Structure 1
Amino acid sequence: MGGLGNQMFQYAVGRRLAAIHGTVLKLDISDFKNYTLHDYGLSAFNIKESIATQEEIRLFKEPEASSLKKKIKKLVGYPNKLGITHIRENQYHFDPAILTMHDSVYLDGYWQSEKYFSDISEIIRNEFTVTLPQTGKNLTLAQQMTSCESISLHVRRGDYVTDGKTNTIHGTCDLDYYARCIGRVAQKVHRPCFFIFSDDPEWAEKNLRITHQATVIDHNGPKKNYEDLRLMSQCRHHIIANSSFSWWGAWLNQYPDKLVLSPARWFKEETFNTKDLIPSTWQRL
């Protein structure tokens, strides 16, 4: 569920358990039938894609129970007669117990930390490679990015702005955040070239104040968001939003001296513990 970045986190944690147990990872994409904000998007990647059947999904659905029992099960998961376990994520920080689960488990959550899959990072990087060749304008941009001190800058708006519930939880990175990041990049990087990614490129172009060379990427659109993600990963440095999409764009970049700047607060809701969301080598501003 969720956008492409969220789907990638969900796949990565499941792929780690499947790799350790030598078993098959099945993907439950049934909720996308009624989900209007985003499409299922992992088919663009070199993943081991196996879609769960409705019968397989049914085996994992939580049976009717009292409200008290449901609350307990949400906290600790539950085994049924088949040894199947349904685990609901109950915190935003890393839970090491997830990595000890057996091979008949249904993971229900977002799992936003590289700690869930860091020990198979090369597998994840390989499988999150876009299968289609890079052509046309995207290829031209990629060549530009590799020939300069390229910085991807991501502005996430979309449902963060238009959907009331989403805005209450996430909020958006303000212009002051981007100004501080651009200033930090200018101090650290000689002759930076900015490449701006956004689901609202017109807003980004109008409101961002960048005195250095800057290019707005606005031609791929939501149906080819994997192309934007690939371009992001081909930049040398990154200014990410509070978005799993640009998180992955930065993480997939293998440039050894990359500078990654991220927001100090990931959620508008201050009580969420996101200490494990940002890798230790990235900088929070």
Structure 2
Amino acid sequence: MTIAGASYFHKAMDLMLNKYPNAFFIVASDDMAWAKTTLGSRAIMTPFRSAQHDLALLASCQHTIISSGTFSWWAGWLSNGTTIYYQDYPRKGSSLFAGFNHSDYYCKDWIPLSD
């Protein structure tokens, strides 16, 4: 599996700010220490301590930057706005990549972006 790095999130944030100059970023993560260290100056960390509340908050957002996990996929789908996804998932040559069709997993109007 390929995991989106800090450069992906910073590029995605820049892209969102170009499209929506008044955008701000809310982060939900299962690794908040990494998120605070990497994105903290550019983002607001979710105040909740449960996945249910985090997903409800993210689903109410107008636009979404998602990682490769299903939790963020659902946030992107439920928000129904501009969604940027990590296009390097799954890693080329991996067993998951062999049977993976991006058009089956990502909505056609979502924006692919790599590191």
What's the TM-score bracket when you normalise by the shorter of the two chains?
0.7 to 0.9
Separation in structure 1 between the aligned mates of residue 45 and residue 40 of structure 2, nearest angstrom: 13
2:101 counterpart residue number = 274
Deviation of 1:218 after TM superposition, in Å, equals 4.8
Structure 1 segment 37-186 matched on structure 2, within 5 A = 170-186=1-17
SS in 2 for 1:208: helix
1:247 counterpart residue number = 73
| Dislocated runs of 4+, deviation >6 Å | none
Q: TM-score, normalised by structure 1?
A: 0.36
Deviation of 1:274 after TM superposition, in Å, equals 2.7
Deviation of 1:210 after TM superposition, in Å, equals 4.7
Deviation of 1:215 after TM superposition, in Å, equals 1.0
Separation in structure 1 between the aligned mates of residue 41 and residue 112 of structure 2, nearest angstrom: 20
Structure label with greater radius of gyration = 1
Matched to 1:241, the amino acid is S
1:206 counterpart residue number = 37
Q: Which runs of 5+ in 2 are unaligned?
A: none
Query: RMSD in angstroms over aligned alpha carbons?
Result: 1.7
Deviation of 1:240 after TM superposition, in Å, equals 0.3
Once the two structures are superposed, residues 190-228 of structure 1 have per-residue CA deviations (whole angstroms, 9 ceiling, x without a partner) of 2111101100111111012654xx2101531xxx31111
- How many equivalent residue pairs? 108
2:27 counterpart residue number = 196
Deviation of 1:261 after TM superposition, in Å, equals 0.1
Q: TM-score, normalised by structure 2?
A: 0.83
